[in-house]
Structure 1
Amino acid sequence: MTSRQYNIETIGIVGTGAMGRGIAQIAALAGLKVRLYDTNPAAVGAARDYLADTFAKLTAKGRLDQARSLAALACVSGAAAINELADCDLVIEAIVEKLDVKQALFRELEAIIGEQCVLASNTSSLSITAIAAACSDPSRVVGFHFFNPVPLMKVVEVIDGLRGDPAAGDALMQLARRVGHTPVRAKDMPGFIVNHAGRGMNTEGLRIAGEGVAEFVDIDRIMREQAGFRLGPFELLDLTALDVSHPVMESIYHQFYEEPRFTPSPITGTRLAGGLIGRKTGEGFYRYVDGQQQVPAEAPAPTALPQRVWVSRQHACARDAVLQLVAKTGVALDEGDTPAADSLLIVTPFGLDATTAAVEEGLDARRVVAIDALFPLVGAKRRTLMTTPATSRETRDAAHALFAADGVPVTVIRDSTGFVAQRVVATIVNIGCDIAQRQIASPQDIDLAVTLGLGYPRGPLALGDALGASTILTILRNILKVLGDPRYRPSPWLARRAQLGLSLTQGDAATEHPQ
């Protein structure tokens, strides 16, 4: 196959909904000629009016000067018929997520456009190779996946189909930079990078809720305030809306042939059927009044401190952090190898549940409370405690009072392998590692796509490095040991690099390109 030379100056956009309009906006502002087409002729006029209004508002706010605003609008024209896209250098489809509909469109376009025109799909979940299979020349069909809202989400995935011409993908990488976005390159695999990597947060959050470990709001608080994410899984699901996110979860699960890591939850299917879709309908996992999320207030922490505390010696760093907190309260420390009969017993498991941790150390489960030490305990914004099924109310309240004594909020959850933050973060890291192992994208593009596309504080590989690859590996292996669920099997990428002390962002040394 001989690579063509692609020079993109005129873009056709098929579909003038939110995605089509957003792509048109950034392209016109970059000085590209944009031609809009929609099967509903009125939608084309409405889209151009929307762009005119958007440019005017940006100008009024001082974000866009008048000359550039007028020039950008002048770049946008409508097409009354699809054959008016014949002279475009690139045509992007942003239509319904149905394979047969996209294939039919691409067959129609192929009969119209010139040989140097690239055909791009903004699909979020369908195979680029499958879309391209409808064309007699699949080499110029490329995935060009933007995120909503396009002007604000500054990342775009460029996806090569199996029969794709690399030069076509290269041209879209260059175009993405021209319109002010950061491109990342991916192989044609379900979910590409961002929607693939996003399974960790949502599916694990749903699984934790489904096990009755904690309420939706508590899981969100832990992921925001303890783990440092901008949104928890249920806030995120409300934002994206279940009519969008639930079908994507099911699609990726089935496209990976029921891979346990991506198993959806019946929670979202039931809530979708009940109309609890999210922010846009006023009710999802939260209620929204005038667009404002309604969050229940937390109950005040108990105040009665324990008489004395015994702390497990299983994890030295975690023990030291707990001892610092205990020292500030003035509570006596039980330093015996065998705890006294009236001591509060604190364990710091990684991946194990409180029950297993108590049994392995031969402790009285009625007096055991576990604390999550994956993230720093000193200076924390939130701490998480976990009880065994046998833990007494008095023990639970005493531990709550102890770890909330400095004013830091504490969430107490039911027994769970890996608490909340450990489970979710380890799953995020593990899926990111598997994307790297499958060579769907480079480690650098994986982290870049996730930070820009999902707003995570770090990409999954950098996050694993920050917390320690060996720690993440321990968490996953312990969860797998207790539950026996292959969902938690560690990716070879993670296991090998943890054992060798290598960064998760590092590829195989023998195949890395020299700098």
Structure 2
Amino acid sequence: MKRVGVIGGGTMGVGIAYVCAQAGGAVTVVEPDDERAERMRGIIRDTAAGAVKRGKFSSAEADALDRGIERVREISDLAEGFDVIIESVFEDLELKRSVLASAAARNPDLLASNTSALSIDSLAEAVPDPSRFLGMHFFNPVWSLKLVEIVRGDATSEDALETARALAAWMGKESLVVHDVPGFATSRLDLIASLEAMRMLESGVTSAEEIDRAATLAYRHPVGPLRLSDIVGLDVRLDVARALEAAHGSRFAPPKILEQMVAEGKLGVKSGQGFFHWPQ
């Protein structure tokens, strides 16, 4: 049984915990906020119940999945020697560095950051042994999307890469390995499409609904770029756009409609309103 630590019980953390528990792992999630932890537990149970209804697994397996996930409040509450600890907190460089330094002190075999844009080499500065550190970029919803983008830093060892590949396969995922370039591969592809969709909406080409229909019908995307942006969080989109603009130039500049919506607190699913309305 693999022992997995997940730091952060938000949207991505809960998905990572779910797939690891589904694979048979013993999962411990660090989440200091009681309300967020309760919401995490509800999402896990609801998602498992939905899988039972679809015949993906049995009620007994759903119960076992739920029991396989433990919650603690602090990183210091984690035992030492986990197979992997995956950090999944907000996309803030200093916050992630602080979290990773504390996680490294628990001496896991592998330490990973679920970041979609931040430099692995910059994050590695907080880690005593960067040879055992890398990026594992998951996609939302984690239980549905099969890709994990593994990001190797300058100091990442071949052993760490092989361990990460094996962990991804154990979770039922496909993996690809990319170098530590801002935006990696997938974030650049995803963001440029979403920013162009926003510019189309801003200039009055058509409605948000029709733009997303174009993506799903013409290109078989499961979710359109504007709806996906709402799911990711418009504040996250804005932060990533600004970071990639600084690294790669004006083609990643955030549209004014995105800046305005974030300033108004319209963040997508998390606030109930983004490009679409999301009833709580």
TM-score (norm 2): 0.84
Unmatched segments (≥5 aa) in structure 1: 1-7, 292-515
Amino acid at match of 1:214: V
Report what 1:264 is aligned to: 254
Shift of 1:161: 0.9
What's the CA shift string for 1:171-229, capped at 9, x where partnerless?
1111111111111211111111111112332333444555x472445971784488445
Aligned residues of 2:150 and 2:177 also touching (Cα < 8 A): yes
Shift of 1:245: 1.6
Identity %: 30
Among 191, 194, 202, the residue aligned to 1:199: 191
User: Separation in 1 of the partners of 2:224 and 2:142?
Assistant: 22
Equivalent-residue separation in structure 1 for 2:270 and 2:127 (angstroms): 37
1:264 deviates by 2.4
SS at match of 1:149: coil
Summarize the alignment of residues 202-351 of structure 1 with structure 2, pairs less than 5 Å apart: 202-208=194-200, 212=203, 214-217=205-208, 220=211, 223-224=214-215, 227-228=218-219, 230=221, 233-256=225-248, 259-278=249-268, 281=271, 283-285=273-275, 288=277
For residues 23 and 225 of structure 1, the distance between their equivalents in structure 2, rounded to whole angstroms, comes to 26
Trace 1:429-444 onto structure 2 (pairs within 5 A).
none
CA–CA distance in 1 between the matches of 2:112 and 2:57? Answer: 29
Residues of 1 paired with 2:226 and 2:102: CA distance? Answer: 41
The change in CA–CA distance for 1:103 and 1:61 in structure 2 (over 3 A counts) is same
Closer, same or farther in 2 for the Cα pair 1:242/1:85, shift >3 Å? same
Question: What residue identity is the alignment partner of 1:105?
Answer: V
| Equivalent pair of 1:21/1:47 in contact (CA under 8 Å) | yes
Q: Secondary structure at the match of 1:126?
A: coil
Aligned partner of 2:16 in structure 1 is 23
Q: 1:86 Cα deviation (Å)?
A: 0.9
With over 3 angstroms needed to count, the CA separation of the structure-2 counterparts of 1:66 and 1:204, relative to structure 1, is closer
Q: Residues 409-488 of structure 1: matches in 2 within 5 Å?
A: none
Q: Is structure 2 residue 86 aligned with structure 1 residue 95?
A: no
SS for the counterpart of 1:63 is coil
Letter of the 1:14 partner, please give it: I
Distance (Å, rounded) in 2 between the aligned partners of 1:196 and 1:228:
18
Cα deviation 1:134-182 (Å, max 9, x = unaligned): 1221111110111121111221111111111122122111111111111
- Alignment length, in residue pairs? 278
Cα deviation, 1:403-457, whole Å, max 9, x if unaligned, reads xxxxxxxxxxxxxxxxxxxxxxxxxxxxxxxxxxxxxxxxxxxxxxxxxxxxxxx
2: distance between equivalents of 1:71 and 1:175? 20
> TM-score when scaled to structure 1?
0.48
Superposed CA RMSD in Å reads 3.0
Alignment gaps of 5+ in structure 2: none
Q: What is the CA distance between 1:26 and its match in structure 2? A: 0.7
Rounded to whole Å, the distance in 2 between the matches of 1:77 and 1:284 is 33
Aligned-partner SS, 2:196: helix
CA distance in 1, matches of 2:30, 2:20: 15
Return the match for 2:151 from 154, 159, 170: 159
The amino acid that maps onto 2:175 is P
Find the aligned partners of 2:233 and 2:33 in 1 and give their Cα distance.
26
SS at match of 1:151: coil
Contact 1:125/1:190 (8 A) holds in 2 = yes
Higher-Rg structure is: 1
1:97 and 1:154 mapped to 2: Cα distance? 22
